[in-house]
């Protein structure tokens, strides 16, 4: 649709609906200051939003809020005076210029246009976003009205009068940062949306769009069972030509894959792909479904198909036909243990988007398997990054996480040490010092962060936990540490005191390799038998009698610290802790296993099993060790026990349950192979048995390709290699 002489001399107005958006309204208005009119319709702000808007030259009106977005927008439209209206939210900004908008209007004879909206998902990675289109630019006409209490839309009222040809897709682009986690948390939008949708659904119980909206809200609130239920109801009632139908399928399939239900996801995928064959994200989801089933060659085909598919008519994550499928191709090759091919695919993704975190993690993991040095890996990653932009914070937080998970602590320190003007760099350097056992210095940096940085409650708690752990470890080293614990929670102070009170016992503890690798020395046996092993348990009991802290709070702190040490793969503090961990020895053992010290962990887990206090998680860990050693029957006994324990629990995580199912399935078919081989050996003439054996081996190949082992970071996998190498070295020395 081109030149319309009626568009000469037109005016453009911007309409913004706002409430308590003082932190964001400024950037929104700055982006449209060249418009002929800016109207901010305020629905009850108490944070100074109207005053800020007035200061920037906007016209402000006050609207009564009746829990209805369409009503509020329609009332605001009555106050607009320009020929054309561009609608923004306060947490958005116009990326295109007002001049770009004028150019588009000048060359159209339509009634309105869709614009591209980039919904940001990450503060650090500007490309991590989901894009969609919405009608935001339209002529001012009394007949154009918004509909919908929530997720309101003006498009239907335009096409109802002027048909579909009245709307066209424009190149105008808007950035939306209200989808960033911190803003969602600040506004509590999911709960607000849920309540509005529930009110609407009472009047229209089969409205597919409202049902879909409830599903989206449930996803945001991590209520996946409810989300799938709402999505299924929406699917039953949706019009085949509804604009949001492809997005409904996309979101429902994502939920099913998050629930480790790839077979049901396949049903949705077949129907979706038959209708929307140009939707690249559907092929990525299909590949992920096949990946979960262990059909890795088929998954590769789907990911490669995504690379050849493109359309901007769908709600799509950036990179869906480029770096995202390349990253998944890398993941698939890594699962196939084809590390050179994996490295190439990850690198292709990084050439396209050097800050894409999943590709960075995968590249490092594949490089470690190929024994590429830390220096080579880091040099390559940073050179790709610097071809696009300078390495600096906050985006460099991505590299902090990547180097941290890889165990590249020298590179982490180098990255952060010259950028200590930012809290993120100070924290990164602190983690590097912790891994280098420079606990006193790390303690001091944590003290600085706690004193000078604005923190959320959970961030402050984690830093206090690390400060206490560093103070404890510095105490063991006999080094002075800056211990300012006046602001610590009482339970944190008490946990620190309990650990330092047992200083002598802890300091005497020596890391040891599992007795099935080398024999325990008399010294190690003496340490295990030491009465100091019960120090913490006795101290905790004493503290309860003194009434210094409720046991629940103290144990919660101790458990948090074990989790921190596990996630950072800090084996040495965990090893020391196990010698006197009292009733925390099982949790320490499981943390050691995840951190990479399988041998020390297995010794404690076996002891717990003989004492009949091994839980399902510990049984799965021992079962995994036995599976790796191909002791299938013993593994099956443990895994069956884990399943029985899971049946008694009500809060088993879905990914843990799915992994146990995969482990059991692989164990069953391995045992079937074993018994069938024995039968064939006794009666080789049974040709049908040979055919059955081939089918079993195909099943083994597929199941072996599923992610049945405990997920670990690159650092945790490197720890396994180091512990195994040390075990071999000590075994040779003892011969």
**pLDDT, tens digit, 9 for 90 and up, residues 582-633:** 667 899 999 999 999 999 999 999 999 999 999 999 999 999 999 999 999 9
- 287 closest CA partner among 248, 328, 318, 253: 328
**CB-CB contact of 596 with 716 (8 Å):** yes
Please give the structure tokens belonging to residue 92: 């958005």
Please give the structure tokens belonging to residue 380: 């390559």
The β-bridge partners of 94 are 174
- In Å, what is the CA distance from 317 to each residue of 72, 330, 639? 30, 19, 39
Burial class (CB in 10 A: 0-12, 13-18, 19+), 350: buried
Burial class (CB in 10 A: 0-12, 13-18, 19+), 300: buried
Of the listed ranges 58-62, 235-239, 519-523, 590-594, the one predicted with least confidence: 519-523
Same domain, 75 and 174: yes
Same domain, 23 and 98: yes
**CB-CB contact of 109 with 1 (8 Å):** yes
What domain count does the chain have?
3
Same domain, 350 and 397: no
Angle of helix 490-501 relative to helix 551-567, nearest 10 degrees? 70
Report the distance separating Cα 499 and Cα 687, nearest Å.
Answer: 65
Report the distance separating Cα 44 and Cα 732, nearest Å.
Answer: 76
| End-to-end alpha carbon distance in the chain | 85
The alpha-helical segments, DSSP class H, found in 353-489 are: 357-369, 374-388, 397-406, 409-417, 423-435, 439-452, 457-477
Phi, psi torsion values for 149, nearest 5 degrees: -60, -35
| Apex 250 CA angle, 249 and 255, nearest 5 | 95
pLDDT band for 541, please (50, 70, 90 cuts). Answer: very low
- In 10 A of CB 196, how many CB atoms? 20
User: How confident is the model at residue 669, as a pLDDT?
Assistant: 97
| Apex 690 CA angle, 688 and 694, nearest 5 | 115
Same domain, 353 and 415: no
Question: Going by C-beta distance under 8 Å and a sequence separation of 6 or more, which residues neighbour residue 717?
Answer: 365, 368, 596
User: Given 356, 389, 422, which residue is the final one in a domain?
Assistant: 389
Using the 8-state DSSP alphabet, how is residue 217 labeled?
H
- In Å, what is the CA distance from 732 to each residue of 513, 522, 725? 13, 19, 11
Chain centre to alpha carbon of residue 189: 20
CATH value at residue 359: 1.25.40
Phi, psi torsion values for 81, nearest 5 degrees: -125, -5
What global pTM score does this model have? 0.85
Element (H, E) at 565: helix 551-567
* DSSP of 283-324: HHHHHHHHHHTT-HHHHHHHHHHHTT---TTS-EETTTTTHH
Residue 108 lies in a domain: yes
Question: Going by C-beta distance under 8 Å and a sequence separation of 6 or more, which residues neighbour residue 373?
Answer: none
Report the distance separating Cα 504 and Cα 514, nearest Å.
Answer: 23
Residue 492 lies in a domain: no
Please give the structure tokens belonging to residue 464: 């206090």
Same domain, 385 and 396: no
Same domain, 59 and 160: yes
Same domain, 65 and 142: yes
Report the distance separating Cα 665 and Cα 652, nearest Å.
Answer: 19
Average pLDDT rounded to a whole number, residues 279-284: 97
- 476 closest CA partner among 500, 443, 493: 500
Average pLDDT rounded to a whole number, residues 524-546: 43
The β-bridge partners of 119 are 130, 176
Domain of residue 359, residue span: 322-389
Of the listed ranges 69-73, 75-79, 197-201, the one predicted with least confidence: 197-201
Kindly tell me if the per-residue pLDDT of 659 is higher than 90: yes
Report the distance separating Cα 76 and Cα 572, nearest Å.
Answer: 64
Residue 86 lies in a domain: yes
Residue 94 lies in a domain: yes
Q: What is the 3 state secondary structure string of 592-610?
A: HHHHCCHHHHHHHHHHHHH
- In 10 A of CB 436, how many CB atoms? 14
Average pLDDT rounded to a whole number, residues 524-528: 38
User: How confident is the model at residue 37, as a pLDDT?
Assistant: 96
Report the distance separating Cα 89 and Cα 158, nearest Å.
Answer: 21
- In Å, what is the CA distance from 626 to each residue of 325, 398, 566, 662? 35, 36, 22, 15
Same domain, 119 and 30: yes
pLDDT band for 579, please (50, 70, 90 cuts). Answer: low
Report the distance separating Cα 90 and Cα 18, nearest Å.
Answer: 6
Of the listed ranges 105-114, 248-257, 532-541, 696-705, the one predicted with least confidence: 532-541
Average pLDDT rounded to a whole number, residues 428-455: 93
Using the 8-state DSSP alphabet, how is residue 611 labeled?
T
Phi, psi torsion values for 41, nearest 5 degrees: -100, 105
User: Given 135, 150, 180, which residue is the final one in a domain?
Assistant: 180
Please give the structure tokens belonging to residue 99: 């001049």
Residue 527 lies in a domain: no
Report the distance separating Cα 130 and Cα 254, nearest Å.
Answer: 14
Phi, psi torsion values for 170, nearest 5 degrees: -105, 170
Burial class (CB in 10 A: 0-12, 13-18, 19+), 337: exposed
Residue 509 lies in a domain: no
Up-side HSE of residue 692: CA atoms within 13 Å toward CB?
13
Kindly tell me if the per-residue pLDDT of 7 is higher than 70: no
Residue 607 lies in a domain: no
User: Given 370, 401, 436, which residue is the final one in a domain?
Assistant: 436
Residue 62 lies in a domain: yes
Tell me: cis bond preceding 663? Omega within 30 of 0 counts: no
- In 10 A of CB 270, how many CB atoms? 10
User: How confident is the model at residue 481, as a pLDDT?
Assistant: 65
Report the distance separating Cα 556 and Cα 433, nearest Å.
Answer: 26
pLDDT band for 41, please (50, 70, 90 cuts). Answer: very high
Average pLDDT rounded to a whole number, residues 207-230: 95
User: How confident is the model at residue 484, as a pLDDT?
Assistant: 67
Largest Cα–Cα distance in the chain? 97
Kindly tell me if the per-residue pLDDT of 540 is higher than 70: no
Same domain, 35 and 118: yes
Cα dihedral sign, 244-249-254-259: positive
3-class DSSP assignment, residue 237: helix
Average pLDDT rounded to a whole number, residues 132-160: 93
Kindly tell me if the per-residue pLDDT of 524 is higher than 60: no
Using the 8-state DSSP alphabet, how is residue 350 labeled?
H
Of the listed ranges 10-19, 345-354, 676-685, the one predicted with least confidence: 676-685
Kindly tell me if the per-residue pLDDT of 521 is higher than 50: no
Same domain, 72 and 144: yes
Same domain, 362 and 410: no
Same domain, 403 and 348: no
Report the distance separating Cα 211 and Cα 232, nearest Å.
Answer: 9
Phi, psi torsion values for 660, nearest 5 degrees: -65, -40
Phi, psi torsion values for 321, nearest 5 degrees: -120, 25
When the pLDDT of each residue in the chain is averaged and rounded to a whole number, the result is: 88
pLDDT band for 8, please (50, 70, 90 cuts). Answer: low
Integer-rounded Cα Rg, in Å, for the chain is 30
CATH value at residue 102: 3.90.550.10
């Amino acid at each position: 649709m081109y030149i319309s002489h009626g568009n000469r001399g037109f005016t453009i107005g911007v309409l913004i609906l706002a409430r308590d958006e003082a932190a964001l309204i400024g950037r929104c208005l700055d982006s449209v200051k060249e418009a002929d009119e800016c109207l901010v319709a305020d629905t009850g702000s108490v944070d100074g939003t109207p005053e800020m808007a007035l200061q920037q030259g906007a016209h402000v009106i006050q609207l009564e809020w009746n829990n209805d977005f369409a009503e509020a927008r329609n009332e605001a439209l009555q106050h607009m005076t320009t020929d054309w209206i561009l609608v923004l939210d306060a947490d958005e900004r116009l990326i295109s210029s007002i001049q770009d908008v004028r150019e588009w209007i000048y060359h159209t004879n339509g009634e309105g246009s869709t614009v591209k909206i980039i919904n940001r998902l990450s503060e650090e990675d500007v490309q991590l976003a989901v894009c969609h289109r919405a009608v935001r630019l339209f002529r001012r006409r009394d007949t154009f009205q918004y509909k919908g209490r929530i997720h309101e839309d003006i498009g239907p009222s335009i096409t109802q009068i002027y048909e579909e040809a009245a709307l066209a897709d424009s190149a105008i682009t808007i950035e939306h940062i209200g989808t960033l986690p911190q803003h969602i948390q600040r506004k509590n939008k999911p709960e607000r949306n849920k309540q509005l949708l529930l009110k609407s659904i009472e009047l229209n119980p089969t409205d597919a769009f409202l049902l879909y909206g409830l599903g989206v809200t449930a996803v945001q609130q991590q209520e996946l069972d409810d989300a799938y239920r709402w999505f299924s109801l929406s699917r039953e009632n949706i019009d085949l030509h509804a604009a949001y139908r492809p997005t409904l399928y996309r979101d429902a399939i994502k939920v099913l894959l998050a629930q480790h239900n790839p077979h049901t996801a396949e049903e949705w995928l077949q129907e979706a792909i038959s209708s929307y064959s140009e939707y690249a994200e559907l092929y990525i989801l299909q590949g992920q479904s096949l990946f979960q089933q262990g059909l890795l060659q088929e998954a590769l085909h789907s990911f490669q198909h995504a690379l050849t598919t493109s359309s901007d008519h769908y709600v799509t994550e950036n990179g869906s036909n480029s770096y995202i499928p390349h990253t998944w191709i890398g993941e698939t090759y890594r699962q196939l243990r084809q590390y050179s091919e994996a490295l190439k695919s990850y690198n292709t993704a990084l050439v396209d988007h050097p800050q894409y975190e999943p590709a960075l993690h995968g590249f490092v993991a594949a490089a470690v398997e190929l024994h590429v040095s830390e220096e080579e890996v880091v040099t390559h990653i940073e050179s790709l990054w610097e071809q696009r932009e300078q390495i600096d914070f906050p985006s460099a937080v991505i590299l902090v996480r990547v180097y941290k998970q890889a165990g590249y602590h020298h590179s982490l320190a180098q990255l952060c040490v010259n950028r200590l003007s930012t809290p993120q760099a100070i924290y990164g350097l602190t983690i590097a010092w912790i891994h280098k056992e420079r606990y006193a210095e790390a303690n001091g940096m944590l003290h600085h962060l706690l004193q000078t940085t604005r923190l959320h409650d959970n961030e402050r708690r984690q830093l206090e936990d690390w400060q206490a752990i560093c103070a404890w470890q510095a105490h063991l080293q006999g080094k002075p540490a800056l211990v300012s614990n006046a602001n610590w929670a009482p339970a944190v102070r008490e946990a620190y005191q309990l650990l330092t009170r047992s200083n002598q016992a802890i300091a005497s503890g020596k890391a040891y390799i599992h007795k099935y690798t080398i024999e325990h020395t008399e010294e190690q046996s003496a340490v295990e038998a030491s009465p100091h092993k019960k120090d913490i348990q006795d101290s905790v009991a004493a503290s309860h009698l003194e009434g210094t802290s409720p046991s629940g709070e103290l144990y919660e702190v101790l458990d948090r610290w074990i989790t921190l040490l596990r996630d950072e793969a800090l084996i040495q503090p965990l090893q020391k802790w196990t010698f006197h961990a009292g009733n925390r020895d099982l949790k320490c053992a499981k943390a050691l296993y995840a951190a990479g010290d399988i041998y020390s962990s297995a010794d404690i887990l076996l002891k717990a099993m003989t004492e009949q206090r091994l839980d399902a998680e510990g049984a799965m860990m021992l079962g995994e060790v036995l599976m790796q050693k191909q002791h299938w029957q013993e593994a099956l006994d443990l895994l069956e026990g884990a399943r029985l324990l899971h049946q008694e629990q009500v809060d088993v995580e879905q990914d843990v349950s799915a992994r146990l199912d995969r482990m059991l399935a692989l164990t069953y078919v391995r045992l079937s192979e074993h018994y069938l081989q024995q039968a064939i050996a006794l009666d080789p003439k049974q040709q049908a048995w040979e055919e059955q054996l081939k089918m079993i081996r195909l099943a083994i190949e597929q199941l072996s390709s599923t992610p049945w082992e405990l997920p670990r970071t690159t650092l945790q996998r490197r720890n396994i290699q180091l512990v195994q190498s040390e075990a071999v070295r000590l075994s040779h020395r003892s011969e």
